[in-house]
Amino acid sequence: MKILVPVKRVVDYNVKVRVKSDHTGVDIANVKMSMNPFDEIAVEEAVRLKEKGVATEIIAVSCGVTACQETLRTALAIGADRAVLIETDVELQPLAVAKLLKALLEKEGAGLAILGKQAIDDDANQTGQMLAALAGLPQATFASKIEIADGKAAVTREVDGGLEKVTMTLPAIVTTDLRLNEPRYVTLPNIMKAKKKPMETLKPADLGVDVTPRLKTLKVSEPAGRKAGVKVADVATLIDKLKNEAKVI
């Protein structure tokens, strides 16, 4: 069974994000970029499934600019077998990415796609669900445990009320939650091996997908700073402020 693992290049989670002076987006010039943490968890889970003998091949895929090759090399160093870069300079939105992944999923004949539940740059949490809808495949989101056996996937999901276990027939789509696993440390020998692993480059047109943006960002601004708290003398004053100033009661 082949496992398809999409990975996204995002601003490193340790970097303080700054908004551009013209409010058109986030400034990424000379900023450290890395693999989306949830995608790193997805790659790790795919590698563990291969180590259990469940999967035969892991294909890492990234959509975006040429620099995404660096992110794919990280996925290869973790344990993916080969990589596919769908190269484009167009700003990709979740629906466009889902269409690209659907086309590649069908092209490769993968039995399972494991995605991070969301990217830490836009926090959209849409691509996995859109991919499942477009491909007409069963899905399990926010996975904290994945077990594959007899052509089925048993997934434990993290939901508001606790945990939920679902069973799906493969092929299927799974999105990973934070507690699914802890990604392994990438060693120098594996980084060197990753340089020799194959990486294919495609264009959206090669997959017959139009990635023209359908949404327009009007303005990006930083959140307003929090006001300092105040101490009140008694309960009556507190209630008065909640009622007349905060207007929450």
Q: CA–CA separation, 166 vs 56, rounded Å?
A: 24
What average pLDDT does range 111-122 have in this prediction?
93
Bridge partners of residue 85, in order along the sequence? 62, 201
**Class of residue 125 by CB neighbours under 10 A (exposed 0-12, middle 13-18, buried 19+):** middle
- The pair of structure tokens assigned to 17 is 């994000």
Whether omega before 138 lies within 30 degrees of 0, making that bond cis, reads no
**pTM > 0.75: yes or no:** yes
> 191 falls in which pLDDT band (50, 70, 90)?
very high
- pLDDT tens-digit profile of 87-103? 999 999 999 999 999 99
Domain at 2-224: CATH code? 3.40.50.620
- Spatial neighbors of 197 by CB under 8 A, at least 6 apart, are 76, 80, 81, 82, 83
Residue given tokens 């959209």 in the structure block: 124
What is the separation, in whole angstroms, between the first and last Cα of the chain? 57
